[in-house]
Structure 1
């Protein structure tokens, strides 16, 4: 009997305040879309880092014929210096950090450069002007600084470059986008909570006579407040479900059907990641409704 009464009151309250309830649904939908988008963006960034950082290499460029680097004052790297550098990488203290070492000669560097120079802009270059190099694949990419510090001062080494630098600006931009989305989500969540509070307040005021009668006949405080709390929870949950649906279709059609076929060299998040985020969005929605109810009902339905 109590459940029938409570659900009846919830239905009547939503029907009486349809406009406000729809406003709660829409604001919750938009705010949780931002929350979900920020979470998925961060998941995509983490996936890119795991994928790309696992493939990056350290490039140890050896001294060319002419260089401004003091370590190359004696001219081009010698065969003995190349052997010493390889020994440090493969047999020295770095051997546990290095997975594989590739050597690229001047001729190989020249052939690769010419193959990528479609316009023929640098056709005047000769193999003698190119730099030989070691490409070092690390067992643990996070230890790149150890390898860089150990090789930068070796005779015959011109410069040591970590390919992670190529992606740092991209990840900095993506992290900034995540922060902006999270900040917008926070603002929208505050707006959603205020709107839920207003909706519950209006519902409580419109049924003040009924709640007074219930207090007079001895109804418990929880029985009086429960319909109002459920009204906010239902509206917020509806907004969360819409946000989950929006994120699912966004990932499904924009990423699975478009990006994955257009840009094939990137590992993308998928719809399964949306389902991982979905429970948290529902928890946030119910939490918003609960906080708004506690703030409002203590004043307007005091027993």
Structure 2
């Protein structure tokens, strides 16, 4: 084992510049890969939280409403409201139905626009009453929308999913773009490791040939090269983990969380999972190229 470690250390010193290049490439690529994993977890966390809160709003007709279900100059009647409520409450996809009267909507409007001059020109009669529907399964919403969209007294049906889906689509694009770029850099790191090991093996080809002729096992010959690549990969992975920890501390905890308290942000357990993925990928990238690069010299 002493001979193996000595050979590995000798190889690291002889190829110091290439080893440093491998470390830096692994650092950058694994950091991007870990960032992609964090982004994926953040998207799923936000998606799960917001999808649990998705509600369908059914806006009722008022005097100035336009639409085939509305009578010109007339609010939705109490009979129409009762029909809409009964339709919603009898729907198996609906969990809870809330009714917001004009007065409730006016109170919320006053709270939101309390410092705005527009408040002086508004009153409760200009508000629009509505039903808010909490679904049992946020994914199953089409049946509720189609059941009430054509009822008399319904001016419009609004599903928050139409606003959230584009946001999550863009977040997914950013996530997969980051992961795609990191995979390209990881490929470059793997090729760089293979090149470094191939150069090291070529410089010691006579020694490897003698070892093979005297009966040294493939594992004994390959082990110093595996240690070289593994050391470089692990250093790059450790630096990448440090970068992910810095992102969590300085960007998310210190800046993002105080600024956007309504958003549920990833925590240290999520960062730990990303770090495990980074280390695992780093180890695989150090072993596979080394085995491929040294295979030629094991046949000497």
- Which TM-score band applies after superposition, normalised by the shorter structure? over 0.9
Which digits, 9 at most, give the CA deviation of each residue in 1:89-114, with x for residues without a partner? 22x1x1x4323222112232233224
Q: Tell me if the contact between 1:204 and 1:301 (Cα under 8 Å) persists in the aligned partners.
A: no
SS at structure 2 position matched to 1:141: coil
Q: Tell me if the contact between 2:222 and 2:291 (Cα under 8 Å) persists in the aligned partners.
A: no
Residue 178 (structure 1) aligned to one of 150, 175, 178: 175
Q: Tell me if the contact between 1:252 and 1:270 (Cα under 8 Å) persists in the aligned partners.
A: no
The residue number in structure 1 matching 2:222 is 225
Q: Does 1:104 align with 2:100?
A: yes
Q: Tell me if the contact between 2:96 and 2:134 (Cα under 8 Å) persists in the aligned partners.
A: yes
Unaligned runs of 5+ in 1: none
Q: Does 1:116 align with 2:115?
A: no
Q: Does 1:20 align with 2:14?
A: no
Residue 241 (structure 2) aligned to one of 226, 240, 244: 244
Q: CA deviation at 1:299?
A: 2.2
Rounded to whole Å, the distance in 1 between the matches of 2:26 and 2:246 is 18
The residue number in structure 2 matching 1:212 is 209
Q: CA deviation at 1:122?
A: 6.0
Q: Does 1:11 align with 2:9?
A: yes
Which digits, 9 at most, give the CA deviation of each residue in 1:47-75, with x for residues without a partner? 11111111221110011113331111454
Which digits, 9 at most, give the CA deviation of each residue in 1:15-74, with x for residues without a partner? 111111111111011111111101110100111111111122111001111333111145
Q: TM-score, normalised by structure 1?
A: 0.92
The residue number in structure 2 matching 1:64 is 62
20-29 vs 134-143, which moves further = 134-143
Unaligned runs of 5+ in 2: none
Rounded to whole Å, the distance in 2 between the matches of 1:233 and 1:197 is 12
What RMSD, in angstroms, separates the aligned Cα atoms of the two structures? 1.8
SS at structure 2 position matched to 1:102: strand
Rounded to whole Å, the distance in 2 between the matches of 1:264 and 1:68 is 38
Rounded to whole Å, the distance in 1 between the matches of 2:21 and 2:53 is 48
Q: Does 1:129 align with 2:126?
A: yes
Q: Does 1:141 align with 2:138?
A: yes
Which digits, 9 at most, give the CA deviation of each residue in 1:200-239, with x for residues without a partner? 0111122122212212322122211221122112211221
Rounded to whole Å, the distance in 2 between the matches of 1:177 and 1:14 is 37
How many residues in Structure 1 have an aligned counterpart in Structure 2? 298
Rounded to whole Å, the distance in 2 between the matches of 1:220 and 1:110 is 83
Rounded to whole Å, the distance in 2 between the matches of 1:196 and 1:262 is 42
Q: Does 1:84 align with 2:58?
A: no
172-181 vs 126-135, which moves further = 126-135
